[in-house]
Amino acid sequence: MLKLGIVGCGAIGTEICKAVDEGSIESELVAVYDRNEEHLSNLQSSLVNTEPEVYELQEMVKHVDLVVESASQKAAYEIVTTALESSCDVMVMSVGVFVDKNFREKVTDIAKKKGCKIYLPSGALVGLDGVKTASCNDIYSVSLTSRKPPESLEGAPYIVENNIDLENLKNETVVFEGYAAEAVKMFPANVNVAATLSLSGLGFDETSVKIIADPGAEKNIHNVTVKGNFGEFTTRVENLPSPTNPKTSYLASLSAIATLQKIVNPLQVGT
């Protein structure tokens, strides 16, 4: 049975642990860790059937087959590298870390040498199977438009550096328009979807991103349009925010669970 370690026990990490605890994922929850003791305490009290150890990363990798990173882009650098160097597979939720080309190439090389896998769930997007399929030939353009409640963007470096007053917005406002390479760095907790989309298709420098702060929005809405010699398709998903973290779409948690279910399931469906 797959032995799991979870680093980061916020909204996504907690949902994964609960899924294992309830038997939705055929695996063993061996260890968990979070620097925030309140997160750890809340998680431990919510589990009924499992009692994972609390191990820091260096100890965790000695006991597990797969490490789930659900902490932050900053933490992901150490988590991914340490897991792979210890011959553990790793699932990365902070996909924006891969905007760093040197890091991306480094960990991919380590994974090859160690015979490990790096799993990137589709997160809050739908249709990535289509993007990957289309990218087997020529794609002309990929664009993402994300519409979010203003409060979900609070604290993003781009918002802070440009003194954007989110609290007093009366109408929908385009707060960012550019490419994924910048969007992922300037909105590290908000648009991991842009990173996943970039890695599936044209890359960070050619994936167009528009972010709209909408006071009337109650959901995180993502529209993706892809054009290529296959034709054209558009996807739209309206995500409810996570009950415990408005910056995270609930679908992202479900995507992590679905990825783990796919890993342990011998029957593989879809691209």
Catalogue the active-site residues.
Answer: 222
C-beta separation of 56 from 82 below 8 A: no
Q: Each residue of 15-42: b (16+ CB within 10 Å) or e?
A: bbbbbbbeeebebebbbbbbeeeebbee
Smallest CA-to-CA distance from 191 within 73, 102, 111 is with 73
Q: Which residue has the tokens 């055929």?
A: 26
Closest CA relative to residue 2, chosen from 268, 259, 270: 259
Cα(256)–Cα(40) distance, integer angstroms: 19
Which residues are CB-contacts of 17 (< 8 A; sequence separation ≥ 6)?
Answer: 6, 9, 29, 32, 43, 46, 47, 50, 52
Q: Give the span between the Cα atoms of 205 and 30, in whole angstroms.
A: 39
Mapped onto helix, strand or coil, the DSSP state of residue 147 is strand
| E strand or H helix that includes residue 182 | helix 180-186
Measure the CA–CA gap between 128 and 87, rounded to whole angstroms: 28
The helix/strand/coil state of 161 is helix
- Going 106 to 8 to 156 to 172, the CA torsion angle's sign is positive
